[in-house]
Amino acid sequence: MDALTLLKNDHTKVKGLFKEVEALGDRATTSRERLFKEIDRELKLHSEAEEKIFYPAFKQHAEDSEEREEVAEAYEEHAIVANLIGELEDLDPGDERYKAKLNVMIELVKHHADEEESVMFKEAREIFDKSELDQLGEKIARFKEQAKAPA
């Protein structure tokens, strides 16, 4: 599977989890916490794969400064989301700020994923050939499998 399809599948999976958590009532703190933990795992694994494999390759192949700026922006968006995740990990799911922070994180991730898919992935299809995208996909898949394996 090519890298862009693999990464887009991750986006789709996380957006599905977002829909589940958004459908919960105000008092569903246990379910919200369980779903957040799953979202947390998925986002961390996805972000790490992008930051270690996809973004460096994209930046190396970037043909202009705008494409390189997109990579810098993507790293910054990941940092903001990671900060919010850290704050959520430290909050009790019953805290009134928890749901608000979670909603902000969800909106940021949706924006980030949509922007990647509409801009960066489109450009990647132009600056990489199919075999390069397939190789990146293999690297990402291996990375994710190794990261999921018990230590």
Query: What pLDDT, in 10s, does the model give residues 29-57?
Result: 899 999 999 999 999 999 999 999 999 99
With cut-offs at 50, 70 and 90, classify the pLDDT of residue 141. very high
With cut-offs at 50, 70 and 90, classify the pLDDT of residue 27. confident
pTM of the predicted structure, to 2 decimals: 0.91
Per the prediction, the chain carries an average pLDDT of: 94
Q: Where are the domains of the chain?
A: 3-148
Burial class (CB in 10 A: 0-12, 13-18, 19+), 32: buried
Express each pLDDT in 4-15 by its tens digit.
999 999 999 999
Structure tokens at 139: 């690297």
CB count in 10 Å sphere of residue 92: 9
With cut-offs at 50, 70 and 90, classify the pLDDT of residue 122. very high
With cut-offs at 50, 70 and 90, classify the pLDDT of residue 151. low
* DSSP string covering the chain: --HHHHHHHHHHHHHHHHHHHHTS-TT-HHHHHHHHHHHHHHHHHHHHHIIIIIHHHHHHH--SHHHHHHHHHHHHHHHHHHHHHHHHHHS-TTSHHHHHHHHHHHHHHHHHHHHIIIIIHHHHHHHS-HHHHHHHHHHHHHHHHHHHS--
